[in-house]
Amino acid sequence: MRPLLLGALVGVVFGWSSAGAEAQDPEELFRKISPSVVVIRAKGRAVDSTRGLVTFSEIGSGVLISADGKVMTAAHVVHAMDEIVVELPGGETVPARVVASEPAADLGLLQLARIPKGAQPARLGDSYKVRVGQQVLVIGAPYGLSHSFSAGWISAKWLPNTAYRAMPLAEFFQTTATINTGNSGGPMFNMAGEVIGVVSHNISRSGGSEGLGFVVTMKSARYFLMEREWAWIGLEGKVVTGELAEIFNVPGGSGLLVSVVPMGSPAWDMGLAGGDRTATIGGQQIVVRGDIVLSMAGIAIKSEADIPKIRERIGAMSTGQPFKASVLRAGKLIELMGKAP
């Protein structure tokens, strides 16, 4: 997988520089930037503790960022999903696939199957210049209500692994702009109409918006989705080591226990299989009866840190270049072949 958008190209297409940009009236600004905002509807599978393998749906938001049909969104909306459809302004729907995803930063990038007529990409801004107290706009689909607009202010800026440790790689803006279910993945704009972040989540005791919304900065989005050679493989699961590895009789003492394999992903195409039951082991509920990946692309899986190494190595390969995976399946060692996306 090649770098998704070369830095120089991004600078030309999106106008990184904000020189000369002037704040605009919110009503006028909404009309200008709203056409770049999309609704994302996704379907996936998960393993339920009582019902086994079940299907579920997810709804979120996104923003069109390039003329060739790339859409930026939140990873938790699209990561490991079987089917993704993007709804554009006017109601047209277009199938999409994941081309990059980093759950630890809650960022995902989609590629539309076709380019809709009149598609209007957003301009990307420089989140480094954003200061606490600046006014911002959020557009998304809270509870499926598309193109809903809210305004607020930047109330704090959080470095990675400070505000929300479940997503340790993300740099966050904290905002008072209203964020609810369905806003996830939608863009945050500055008053010059530039995207400066991607909506992630809110913190709420009531379940509704309480003015504690968190948005991944554009600095993080550029790094994880545009500047690095990350291959989205569709590897979802839990690295087992120590006592867990002994319980599963894992050769070498470690591996990735696969939970789900998204349809159409490189992992799916190479024949990896996920689990269909859950078991509670040592107080942890774990998806079981899936493949255990011992190594992939020449990298042995010893810890969670090895998963991004695999993504980087495969991402640096030429499209279609083969790679091997060593897999433990139902107690037998097998070898599977994959192709770099």
CA atoms lying within 13 Å on the CB side of residue 153: 6
DSSP 255: E
End-to-end CA distance of the chain: 5
CATH number at residue 60: 2.40.10.120
Same-domain check for residues 58 and 95: yes
Strands 107-112 and 93-102: antiparallel
Give catalytic status of residue 76 as yes or no: yes
Looking at 177, 201, 227, which one is the last position of a domain?
227
Same domain, 284 and 154: no
Q: What span, in angstroms and rounded, lies between the C-alpha atoms of 331 and 291? A: 10
Stretch 252-276: mean pLDDT: 96
Report the residue count for the chain: 341
Domain co-membership, 119 together with 244: no
pLDDT (0 to 100) of residue 211: 58
Which of 61, 106, 150, 201 is catalytic? The answer is 106
Residue 183 lies in a domain: yes
**Domain annotation covers residue 256:** yes
- Asked if residue 2 is part of any domain, the answer here is no
Q: Mark whether 52 and 173 lie in a shared domain.
A: yes
pLDDT tens string 124-161 = 999 999 999 999 999 999 888 888 999 999 999 999 99
Q: Which of 227, 262, 280 is the last residue of a domain?
A: 227
Domain boundary pick from 227, 245, 269: 227
Question: Are 218 and 258 members of one domain?
Answer: no
pLDDT higher than threshold 80 for residue 240: yes
Domain that holds residue 94: 7-227
Q: Active-site residue among 61, 101, 150, 184?
A: 184
Residues 109 and 257 grouped into a single domain: no
- Is 202 in the same domain as 253? no
User: Cα–Cα–Cα angle for 84, 179, 109, nearest 5°?
Assistant: 30
**Residue 1 placed within a domain:** no
- What's the CATH code of the domain at 284? 2.30.42.10
Among candidate residues 242, 328, 333, the one with its CA nearest the CA of residue 281: 242
What are 70-100's pLDDT values in tens digits?
999 999 999 999 999 999 988 899 999 999 9
Let me know if 106 is a catalytic residue.
yes
Active site residue 68: no
Token pair 């598609």 is at which residue? Answer: 119
Name which of 291, 314, 309 is nearest 232 in CA terms: 314
Same domain, 174 and 268: no
Residue 228 DSSP code = S
Task: Confirm whether 165 is domain-assigned.
Answer: yes
Q: What percent of the chain has pLDDT over 70?
A: 91
Based on the domain organization, do 218 and 313 belong to the same domain?
A: no
CA-only gyration radius of the chain, Å: 20
Of the residues 76, 200, 259, 265, only one is catalytic, namely 76
Q: What is the DSSP letter of 221?
A: H
Question: pLDDT-based confidence at 190, cuts 50/70/90?
Answer: very high
Percent helix, strand, coil in the chain, to 5, is 20, 40, 40
- The token pair that represents 15 in the structure block: 């106008």
Q: Give the number of domains in the chain.
A: 2
Provide the 3-class DSSP secondary structure of residue 42.
strand
Taking the C-alpha atoms of residue 104 and residue 34, their distance in angstroms, rounded to an integer, is 28
Same domain, 157 and 305: no
Domain match, 113 and 25 both: yes
The tokens describing 144, both together, are: 């499926």
**pLDDT, position 23:** 63
Same domain, 317 and 250: yes
